[in-house]
């Protein structure tokens, strides 16, 4: 199973143990829409919450160094976004995750 497939399964299953294994200790998540940077513990806590509902997740490209995916994400506040993500790998784990998001009007 690819790194991105493992990551997506952990997100879908809300598997905290798997998330800890998949995310590198130096992991950072950059949200370009807000400029906010989240750490490994920030993202795991967020992923375990009910705030993120990802749909139509599709891997566009992946190799041993990088993964690129697109999804539609709905948040508890009703905000819906089309999200393009670039995911960098190091030592078989996700080390960087950057997103660009487009708000989808209600």
- Tell me the per-residue pLDDT of 58-75, one tens digit each, with 9 for 90 and over: 999 999 999 999 999 998
Question: Which of residues 34 and 57 earns the better pLDDT score?
Answer: 57
Instruction: Quickly state the pLDDT bin for 20 (edges 50, 70, 90).
Output: very high
Look up the CATH number of domain 3-103. Answer: 3.10.450.50
pLDDT attached to residue 50: 83
Are the CB atoms for 31 and 42 separated by under 8 Å? Answer: no
**43, 45, 47, 50: CA torsion to nearest 10:** -140
Residue 95 in this model has a pLDDT that exceeds 90 = yes
Domain assignments of the chain as residue spans, ordered by start: 3-103
What is the mean predicted confidence (pLDDT) over 10-16?
94
């Amino acid at each position: 199973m690819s790194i991105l497939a493992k990551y997506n399964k952990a997100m879908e299953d809300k598997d905290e143990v798997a998330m800890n294994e998949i995310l590198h200790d130096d992991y950072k998540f950059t949200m370009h829409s807000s400029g906010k940077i989240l750490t490994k513990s920030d993202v795991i806590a967020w992923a375990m919450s009910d705030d993120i509902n990802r749909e139509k997740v599709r891997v566009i490209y992946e190799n041993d160094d990088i993964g690129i995916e697109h999804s539609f994400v709905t948040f508890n506040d009703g905000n819906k976004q089309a999200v393009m993500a670039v995911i960098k790998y190091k030592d078989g784990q996700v080390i960087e995750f950057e997103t660009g998001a487009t708000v989808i009007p209600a």
